[in-house]
Amino acid sequence: MKILVCCTNSEENKRALAVAVKHAKAFNASVDLVSCIFERSQTPMGIQEDTEKRLQEHIETFFRPEGIECKSQAMMTTLTPGEALIQYAEKHNIDQIVLSIKHRSKLGKLFFGSTAQYVILEAPCPVLTVK
C-alpha cells in the first residue's frame, strides 16, 4: 500500500503526518510526502531546496523513528496543487491520500479555490482529511 501526504507549512499538517504514520504502521504502507510549489516568474530562488529540506525534516521526525519507508518530492508545477496531486497519485499508483484541511468560508473558496475540495472530488483513491 502507498500513502500520499500533501505537505503544507501549517499546524494542521503535523496532525496529517501523525495520522499518516498510524495508517502506514497499520497497513504496512510506504509514504510519499509531496509539496507543490506553483511555478511562476517571481518564484524565489532556493524555494525548492528549502521545501525539500523541510520534507526531509518531516521524514526524520515522523517516519524514520517508526521504521516507515518514506520518500519526498517538492514539485515545481504550473498546475494547481490539486491537479498536481491527482497526477502524482495516478502516476505512482497511490492507494490513499492524506491531506490537512482548514475551515474556509464559501466566499473564501470562491476567491481562492480549495485544493482539498478538488482532490476529494477527483482523486483516484480514498482521501482522508485531517482538520
Name the residue range of residue 82's domain: 2-130
Q: Residue 108 pLDDT more than 70?
A: no
Residue 45: φ, ψ to 5°: -65, 140
Amino acid at 10: S
**Burial tier of 44 (Cβ tally within 10 Å: 0-12, 13-18, 19+):** exposed
Q: For residue 50, is pLDDT > 60?
A: yes
φ, ψ dihedrals at 75, nearest 5°: -100, 125
Mean pLDDT across the chain: 88
What's the gap between Cα 11 and its chain centre? Answer: 14
For the entire predicted model, the pTM comes to: 0.88
Domain count, the chain: 1
The domain spanning residue 23 has which CATH number? 3.40.50.620
pLDDT of residue 46: 82
Which stretch of 40-54, 69-83, 96-110 has the lowest confidence by average pLDDT?
Answer: 96-110
What confidence tens digit (pLDDT) does each residue in 3-14 have? 999 988 777 789
**Residue 32 host element (H or E):** strand 30-38
Amino acid at 11: E
